[in-house]
Structure 1
Amino acid sequence: MPIEIKVDDVSSPDMLALLQVHADLMLSLSPPGSCHFLPAEGLRSPDVTVWSMWDDRSLVGCGALKDLSDGTGEVKSMHTKSDLRGQGYGRRMLEHIMMEAGRRNYSALYLETGSMVGFLPARRIYESYGFRYCGPFGDYALDPNSVFMHRPL
């Protein structure tokens, strides 16, 4: 069965459990004041679209796109189950988000991720898709535990 990516309402027990794993991981890698993940309630905001990724009826990952209301978007909540990392699921989700941003005619995508070593694999994926480092955007402030990235579309 091929990978299926579908809009998710962030209500199923599987999705809520995956988001809790994501939150726990982010909190284990970053000081609380430097964690910018959206909790389930935040992902249900009208300006955020969430996708779940399924492989053979098993939830394998998720990602989200936040509309920044200025013709750009922010990549949020990218997560792949730990035992499945390195198999291309994160890349598939990022490609999906980038395609949707293009469909929405966004001029650019932004993201915030951690500056610590634990976030290096994510930063390398983003770099490979043309994201470049930039200063804080939106409501973010300069933080030594965060890096900010931007990609024109």
Structure 2
Amino acid sequence: MGISIAVETPLQDDVRAMVVELNGHLRPLSPPEFQFQMTAEQMAGADTTVFIARSGAGAALGMGALKTHGEKQGEVKRMWTRPAVRGTGVGRQLLAAVEAQARRTGIARLVLETGGTPPFAPVWRFYEAGGFRRCGVILDYPDTDYSRFYEKLLAQEEAAS
């Protein structure tokens, strides 16, 4: 499958539709107070870089974002691939694009928050396969069983190479 991944604005109808799909998927999995979703408008902020995966025909297939927190820490946000392309590598390519952007901007630690209940097990495996390791609570998220936290220390990887 020929796909392209590029930095794009989330303020496009097809990207907004993916945000709605992602939110709809997540809504029944955790109580609302433990869902930390970004709107398309928040994703368009200067602190966030949004990557969109598109088919050769231009259809939006997935998204992922890097939100910066200071000079050395970045957060993976809004990772989503449409169900029809799951298992094809689109998600891995999006995560690689986010990580490459983090490295280009000098981020030393990449973190993320995801759901902590059993329906999120495939997500945990995805991030673990991408080199992320579980860690304690990150940023200003609450310490709850509804969240699971991961980190990837980019500076250590570069020092080891």
What is residue 117 of structure 2 aligned with on the other side?
A: 116
- Residues of 2 paired with 1:53 and 1:117: CA distance? 27
Q: Name the residue aligned to 1:150.
A: 151
Deviation at 1:2, TM superposition (A): 3.1
In 2, Cα distance between the equivalents of 1:83 and 1:29?
21
Query: Contact 1:53 / 1:60 at 8 angstroms: preserved in 2?
Result: yes
- Contact 1:23–1:39 (8 Å) recurs in 2: no
CA contact (8 A) 1:75 1:97 kept: yes
Report the alpha carbon displacement of residue 41 of structure 1 after superposing the two structures with TM.
1.7
Measured in 1, the distance between the counterparts of 2:121 and 2:37 equals 17
Preserved contact between residue 117 and residue 145 of structure 2 (Cα < 8 Å):
no
Instruction: State whether structure 2 residue 3 is matched by structure 1 residue 3.
Output: yes
4+ residue runs over 4 A deviation: none
Q: What is the RMSD computed on CA atoms of the aligned residues?
A: 1.2
Distance 1:105 1:11 in 2: 27
TM-score computed with the length of structure 1 as normaliser: 0.95
Counterpart amino acid of 2:40?
Answer: A
Contact 1:47–1:67 (8 Å) recurs in 2: yes
Residue pair 2:71, 2:106 contacting (<8 A) in 1 also: no
Alignment of 1:18-97 (within 5 A): 18-56=18-56, 57-97=58-98
Q: When the two structures are superposed, what TM-score results if normalisation uses the length of structure 2?
A: 0.91
SS of 1:52 mapped into structure 2: strand
CA distance in 2 between partners of 1:81 and 1:13 (Å): 15
Separation in 2, partners of 1:94, 1:100: 10
> What is the alpha-carbon distance in structure 1 between the residues aligned to residue 12 and residue 104 of structure 2?
27
Total equivalences in the alignment: 153
Whichever residue aligns with residue 10 of structure 2, its letter is: V
- Give a deviation string over 1:124-150, Cα, whole Å, max 9, x none: 011112211111111111011000001
User: Once the 2 structures are TM-superposed, how far is the Cα of residue 77 of structure 1 from its aligned partner?
Assistant: 0.2
2:118 & 2:71 partners in 1: Cα distance? 32
Conservation of the 8 A alpha-carbon contact between 1:26 and 1:37: no
Tell me by how many angstroms 1:29 deviates.
1.3
CA drift at 1:118: 1.8
Shift of 1:70: 4.0
